[in-house]
Each structure stands twice: as C-alpha cells, then as structure tokens.
Structure 1
Amino acid sequence: MAGKSKRAAKVDEHGVLLVAPPKTISNKEHLQRLNYLFHLSTFHTIVNDQDENNALARMYAKNLDLIQKKTKSSLAPGLKRTLCKACQRTLIPNRTVRLGVLNDSKQKTPVNRVLVLECTCGKTKRFPIGKNPSYQAHGEKASNLFFFQK
C-alpha cells in the first residue's frame, strides 16, 4: 500500500465534484429509444383533440414501459411521475390529469397537505407536500449534479 498513491478528487470553489466525462454510455441506444417514445407519447397527448382515449399516445407509453423493463433501464423519477401506471397515459394538467391539494387532517395544519393527481381513468397519485415544501427527489437535487470538465 505504501507504493500506491491516490489522486485527489478535483473540487471547484462551490464544492462540486468535477469528474471526467464517461468514455462510453451503456445502453445508449435503449435510452435514446425510451426518450423518443416519451416525447412521442407527450406530443400525441397534447396534439390529438379528437381521440379522447389517447390510443396512440398510450401505445407509445406502453412500449416505453415494456422496453424499460426488458432492458432493465431505470427511468428518472420526474419521468416516472408523468406516466399513469394504470392506463399508461402521459399526465398533462387540465388534459389527462386533475390537480388538487387536500388537507384531510382534523387540525387543517399546512404540514398535512397532500398534492393529489387524478388521472382520467380514476387512478390517483398522492404526494405529501406540507412537511417540506422545498423537497426534491435525490436525482433532482442541484448538489448531486456532476459537472464534466473538458
């Protein structure tokens, strides 16, 4: 161990870890395909006013889910929150999902507020927002972003 020297990690003035860009990205084609299917699903949900069932958009979202499972690729939390698990719709406010803030507690304190997303299929998602209004998922925090140096 005495002969081996470790390189010190490079950190900028803001405390952000600087890392070299990866030489290769595993499953790059799968990630590009998943991204494309998500964008297609969102586009067809927004554009098609005649199709109330969003059949084409739901098919793209279902393919996205199947490919994600077969390739064992993980989706970002923000992307997962925009898809309904029951009917495979892309959740777009005032088009496929209704938003509301509920407070079912007896005291009606702001700590107990819950954001409720109700899809047109009837499935609801509930996210607690009262305890920490500035909460962000681990992958969305700015402190966890890596800046690549050239």
Structure 2
Amino acid sequence: MVIAFAFLIGVITGLRALMGLTMVSWGAGLGWIPLGDTPLHWLGLPITRYILSFLALGELVNDKLPKTPSRKVPPQFIIRIVMGGFSGAAIGLAKGSWIVGLIAGAVGAVVGTLGGAEFRGRLAKAIGKDLPIALLEDAIAIIGGFLIVSHLQ
C-alpha cells in the first residue's frame, strides 16, 4: 500500500509541484499521516501547513500566466521529481519504508509531469482553450491529493 500511496502523491506533485507536499503536510497535521515521532514531524506543524498552502495557491495562480514555462523544462521537471520523492518519502516514513516511498513518489512525479502535460495539451487543443483544462487539472490535483492523504489513516 505504501508504494501505491507514495506513487499517487508523486503523480499529484507532477500536476502541481507543491500540491503533494501541501497535502502531506495537512494529512500530518490532521493526524492522518503519523509523522509526530519522526524527523519530518515539522510537516504537521500549523505554520508549515499555512506556508505550504500559501505557496501552493500562488502556484495555482502562476500556472495560468502566459509566461509560465512548461513543467517539462529541466528546472521545473527536476523540482517536481524532488518534491514528489520527498512527499512519497514522508508517506513511506510514516508507514515504515521511507526509501520505497521516496522512489515511488519520484517515479509518480515523472508520470504525473509527463502525463499531466499530455492530458492538458490534448484537451486544451480539443476545446480550443487552455484555462478550463488548467482549472480542471487544479481540481484533480486538489481533490486527488486530499483523497490520497485522507485514506492513509
């Protein structure tokens, strides 16, 4: 199960770079992801949740701007892999296997980055507009992330 949840939070991170870690932080803060006795206990602190939420909201806005680079360019791609791996490692650490979580989260981030870009590109081309698909992708990332962390209890 750890592999599946870590992979899925990585996929969410591939869609929106900060969403996976933000959801993990909220999950830890709400007691769904037991990180209290681990080196990552700080993820569950209120200040961490609020800062990550603010940054994730900024990312949602920034994603819609015309000058925002593709998620597939090296800096953005690397950040998503690192963040996906870290988010997966946190889930893995809570369940006793942080290395498995790290790897699964990083692989999920690659899948989410490439798959999300393809999904958004094809649907935007089909309807002739990017914004509705970008908003759909936001909803998938937020709802998907919530469902993943809420089922870790």
TM-score bracket, normalised by the shorter chain, equals: under 0.3
TM-score w.r.t. the length of structure 2 is: 0.27
**Bigger Cα Rg:** 1
- Going by fraction, where is helix more abundant, 1 or 2? 2
Q: Tell me which of the two structures has the higher relative contact order, counting C-alpha pairs closer than 8 angstroms and 6 or more residues apart.
A: 2
- Going by fraction, where is strand more abundant, 1 or 2? 1
TM-score w.r.t. the length of structure 1 is: 0.27
